[in-house]
Amino acid sequence: SAGGEKYRPAFHFSPKAHWMNDPNGMVYYNGVYHLFFQYHPGGTTWGPMHWGHATSRDLFTWEEKPIALYPDSLGTIFSGSAVIDKDNTAGFGKNAMVAIFTHHNQKIEEAKTGLHQYQSIAYSKDEGETWTKYKGNPVLPNPGITDFRDPKVMWFEQGKKWIMTLATKDRITFYSSPDLKAWKRESDFGASLGAHGGVWECPDLFSLKSNGKTVWVLLVSINPGGPNGGSATQYFTGSFDGNKFVPNSTQQKWVDYGADDYAGVTWSNTGDRKIFLGWMNNWQYANQVPTKTWRGATTIARELSLESAGNEYYLRSMPVREISPLLKSVYKVTNVSIGKELDLSSHIKPLNGKFKIDLSLAKSEKVDIVFENRDGEQLIIGYDEKNNNFFIDRTRSGDTSFEKGFAKKHIAQRISKSKNLKFSIIFDEASVELFSDNGLTVMTDIFFSHSFWDTLKIRTSSDIKLSDISVWTIDLKKRGR
Ligand code: FRU
């Protein structure tokens, strides 16, 4: 890729032109995954927000659609969610797609009353192609809270009502409604729990099964205050009864320990599957990253599940299974003694920066998975037993000049206690996603190298045996693109 398209990912969504941030309104309907997103069609930096729109059938091949929601007299269109109203509770029609979003009113903001954010709805009867804003907007006026935004709505079957999970400055407030129009405050959560290095944003509440038991998961993005600086997404596990969320742990946990996964939430209307993706960026430098014609992309879609360990529940995120038909094996060995270094350069060289590597090996003191290019740049992914950390080091990964905190080594405490290490690593042009220990510790980082990684060396501190290594290309053409 050259010129204005340099750094464009192939199988991650990015807008053809201009700025994007948070994924919004993620809803599955009639075989199609809808992805709306915070979009500024007037430039490549953040500005007056619209909802852009893209669709996919396989979560990897994306088609960008016309803008779905434009600013109006109530404000610009901030983040929110979408649901399918199967029972026509709102009266817009059976199976109407209903978007619930924050209106952000700049005039009120300038008046400094703090009342500039409130929740509104819009509906579509043609699968997200065209939208009508509800005449009674806003449906949830501002009660006097400066940061009052990012509604995530779900149907709560036990109580036969809609639940809205809303970010309200330093906490989450839950609201309920029979019809998506009249909202009643239920409770709030979190003012004295979790990370508070920044304002709370973009929450999500959903349940997962763990050994037959229903566990509720609450995702909360914060900016700043992430584990490796800037913005990141934490989560809580607990119970929810339609009124209150009660946490079952006080341990601090993060959906993704890397620098570049923010404001991620899950798709609605996917049955028992919980599919997540985030904005693959960080507010610390999002407006400065060196792409030319657009800025921003999403992470790949990840399926969430729970792992229990003692009294704790941990989120597992793995690439969705829809990736399988796109993978073409280029190299595979099992049970090989690698000594202290294994050189796999000849296998990744032809792959032009788009590939997946799966690696499992016995735990050794140190494992460095070192990627280099002909420009002398380097990215290292690894595990350090002394500190029990996974890491991604992008200190010398290419162009890092646009922001002083970008060139950095990011670390994540290991959660798994297994004697075997597992890495699953996905590269797509200018991003790397690391799913270690089958998704128990996840790290996502972007980088801007001047050429593709064409050498790969795996270095360990002791002579060890690799149980498994596979290299795959990710080939979208197989899906007729
Ligand atoms: C999170 C966020 C949201 C807000 C949106 C504005 O990245 O700050 O809280 O709705 O971006 O674009």
> Can the peptide bond before residue 203 be classed as cis, meaning omega within 30 degrees of 0?
no
With a cut of 70, say whether residue 481 has pLDDT above it.
no
Q: Using DSSP bridges, classify how beta strands 409-413 and 262-266 pair: parallel, antiparallel or unpaired.
A: unpaired
Tell me, what amino acid is at 201?
A: E
The domain tally of the chain equals: 2
- Does residue 441 line the site of ligand 1, with CB under 6 A? no
Which atom belonging to ligand 1 lies closest to the Cα atom of 231? 7
Judge whether 262 lies within some domain.
yes
For the stretch 250-282, what's the b/e string if a residue is b when 16 or more beta carbons lie within 10 angstroms of its beta carbon? eeebbbbbbbbbbbbbbbbbbeeebbbbbbbbb
Of 288, 319, 350, the domain-final residue: 319
Judge whether 309 lies within some domain.
yes
Judge whether 149 lies within some domain.
yes
Residues 163-205: pLDDT tens digits? 999 999 999 999 999 999 999 999 999 999 999 999 999 999 9
Q: Domain check: are 309 and 344 in the same one?
A: no
Judge whether 162 lies within some domain.
yes
User: Which tops the pLDDT comparison, 158 or 362?
Assistant: 158
Environment class of residue 110 by beta-carbon count within 10 Å: exposed (0-12), middle (13-18) or buried (19+)?
A: exposed
Radius of gyration over every alpha carbon of the chain, rounded to an integer in angstroms: 22
Q: Which domain holds residue 351?
A: 325-479
Distance 61 CA to ligand 1 centre (A): 25
- Average pLDDT (253-277) is 98
Q: Domain check: are 29 and 168 in the same one?
A: yes
Select from 390, 394, 396, 426 the least CA-distant residue to 411. 390
The Cα–Cα gap between 163 and 178 comes to: 9
Distance 337 CA to ligand 1 centre (A): 49
- Does residue 261 line the site of ligand 1, with CB under 6 A? no
User: In the chain, pLDDT over 90 holds for what percent of residues?
Assistant: 93
pLDDT at residue 2 in the model: 57
Q: Domain check: are 215 and 310 in the same one?
A: yes
Q: Domain check: are 402 and 312 in the same one?
A: no
The Cα–Cα gap between 300 and 453 comes to: 20
- Does residue 38 line the site of ligand 1, with CB under 6 A? yes
Q: Domain check: are 57 and 110 in the same one?
A: yes
- Does residue 20 line the site of ligand 1, with CB under 6 A? no
**Token code pair at residue 253:** 């946990």
Which atom belonging to ligand 1 lies closest to the Cα atom of 262? 7
Residue 47 has φ and ψ, to the nearest 5°, of -160, -160
Residues in contact with 60: Cβ distance below 8 Å, sequence separation at least 6, in sequence order: 11, 300, 301, 322, 323, 326, 474, 476, 479
Judge whether 173 lies within some domain.
yes
Judge whether 160 lies within some domain.
yes
Which atom belonging to ligand 1 lies closest to the Cα atom of 80? 10
Q: Domain check: are 333 and 313 in the same one?
A: no
Which atom belonging to ligand 1 lies closest to the Cα atom of 147? 9
Of 319, 344, 376, the domain-final residue: 319
Q: Domain check: are 20 and 158 in the same one?
A: yes
CATH number of the domain that residue 434 is part of:
2.60.120.560
Q: Domain check: are 278 and 147 in the same one?
A: yes
- Does residue 150 line the site of ligand 1, with CB under 6 A? yes
Q: How many residues does the chain have?
A: 481
Judge whether 338 lies within some domain.
yes
Q: Domain check: are 261 and 405 in the same one?
A: no
Give the residues across from 392 on adjacent strands: 381, 410
The Cα–Cα gap between 413 and 157 comes to: 37
Distance 25 CA to ligand 1 centre (A): 13
Judge whether 2 lies within some domain.
no
Residues 270-309: pLDDT tens digits? 999 999 999 999 999 999 999 999 999 999 999 999 999 9
Q: Domain check: are 313 and 363 in the same one?
A: no
Q: Domain check: are 311 and 371 in the same one?
A: no
Q: List, as one string, the DSSP characters of 365-424.
A: SEEEEEEE-TTS-EEEEEEETTTTEEEEE-TTSS--TTSTTSS-EEEEE-----SEEEEE
Long-range contacts of 375-382 (CB under 8 A, 24+ apart): 375/449, 375/450, 375/451, 377/449, 377/450, 377/451, 379/432, 379/447, 379/449, 379/453, 381/423, 381/425, 381/432, 381/434
| 241: annotated active-site residue | no
**Token code pair at residue 300:** 């790949």
Distance 469 CA to ligand 1 centre (A): 40
Q: What is the DSSP letter of 481?
A: -
Of 296, 319, 342, the domain-final residue: 319
Sort residue 360 into left (φ over 0), alpha (ψ -120 to 50) or beta: beta
Distance 286 CA to ligand 1 centre (A): 12
Q: Domain check: are 146 and 295 in the same one?
A: yes
Give the residues across from 238 on adjacent strands: 216, 247
Site to probe by mutation for ligand 1, drawn from 202, 219, 220 as the one with most ligand atoms within 8 Å of Cβ, is 202
**Mean pLDDT estimate for the chain:** 96
Sort residue 359 into left (φ over 0), alpha (ψ -120 to 50) or beta: beta
CATH number of the domain that residue 46 is part of:
2.115.10.20
Residues 304-349: pLDDT tens digits? 999 999 889 999 999 999 999 999 999 999 988 878 899 999 999 9
